[in-house]
Amino acid sequence: MDQPVVVGVDGSEASLRAVDWAADEAALRGAPLHVVYASLWDRYEHAVFPTSREPTTERLLTDVLAVAAAKRARARVPGLAVTTEVVAEGPVPALRRAAHKAAALVLGSRGRGGAAELLLGSVCLAVAGQADGPVIVVRGDHDNRPGHRRGRPVVVGVPDRPADSDAVRFAFREAARRDAPVEAVRVWHRTAHQTTGHPRFTGEPARAHRRRAVEALESGLRAPAEEQPDVEVRRRILEGQARTVLPEASADAALLVVGARRPHGRFGFHIGRVTHAVLHRAACPVAVVPERA
């Protein structure tokens, strides 16, 4: 069977939107959907009440939430194969493990915590930073159904080491599924001493920066464009900071794709400033794709 699309749920409104988006994504891929609810309650229950055989209210609630999410997905995409899993484990390790076997892991941008309306969920950040497969964080208040956003571009930030980028390849595949163009964005900027307006630091340095950006963009697009020749490619070379430019580029996008690299000697993938910014500020869902070292 094809790898499933996995969606993490916690009963929040954001996770329900993630279920909708994940069901659509599974349908686009022709893949099954797997719903995961991770809760430590069973572990605590057995520690405190080791002889109890009766399911607690919390246990019943977790089962109901998982089943309700599956029912919602089937109603949205009739005929979709949906399975559920309730895991007696913390959400970060459970979802990291689920991502390992998934075509993509889909999460809502906020959880049920007290600061849910102010900050991106800590679980979401941790999983996006550590998972070894693509993690899609559903952002934006608009309707992200494929039918409503068909034709809107898949925006991808072309990384500093663009050759054979997994993020760029992922963006092309997602665009092909949606019959949409890829909007490849390469951002460049001058260092602080080059923005003073002094004649020595204007003109040629800016042209050199832009030329290198063009070369990096073309290098990053070469192989994915050959693999997906029917995908329209739109190239954008923009001056500025990527953490500002990419969220702005997401305003009319179906999906924004960024890469994440694992620094040597560190556990998990690193959420850099750019990825952190787009996860907080993008106007559309964000796919964080781990890049090979």
Model confidence pLDDT, tens digit, residues 8-47: 998 888 889 999 999 999 999 999 999 999 876 444 344 4
Q: What is the pLDDT of residues 63-96, one digit of tens each?
A: 788 899 999 999 999 999 999 998 888 889 999 9
> What pLDDT shows up at residue 269?
52
| Percent with pLDDT over 90 in the chain | 55
| 202 pLDDT tier (thresholds 50, 70, 90) | low
Q: Which class for 32: exposed (0-12), middle (13-18), buried (19 or more C-beta within 10 A)? A: middle
Distance between alpha carbon 27 and the CA centroid of its chain, in Å? 17
Q: What integer is the mean pLDDT of 103-117?
A: 68
- Residues ≥6 apart with Cβ < 8 Å to 193: 201
Neighbours of 41 (CB within 10 A): 15
- pTM score, whole prediction: 0.84
- The pLDDT of residue 178 is above 70: yes
| 61 pLDDT tier (thresholds 50, 70, 90) | low
212 three-class SS: helix
Q: What integer is the mean pLDDT of 283-288?
A: 94
Residue type, position 274, single letter = V
Paired with 87 in beta bridges are 38
> What pLDDT shows up at residue 119?
40
Of residues 46 and 204, more confidence is placed in: 204
Which stretch of 11-25, 54-68, 244-258, 275-289 has the lowest confidence by average pLDDT?
54-68
Burial code (b: 16+ CB inside 10 Å, e: under 16) for 150-169 equals eebbbbbbbbeebeebbbbb
d(CA 12, CA 89): 18
d(CA 121, CA 177): 29
Of residues 39 and 3, more confidence is placed in: 3
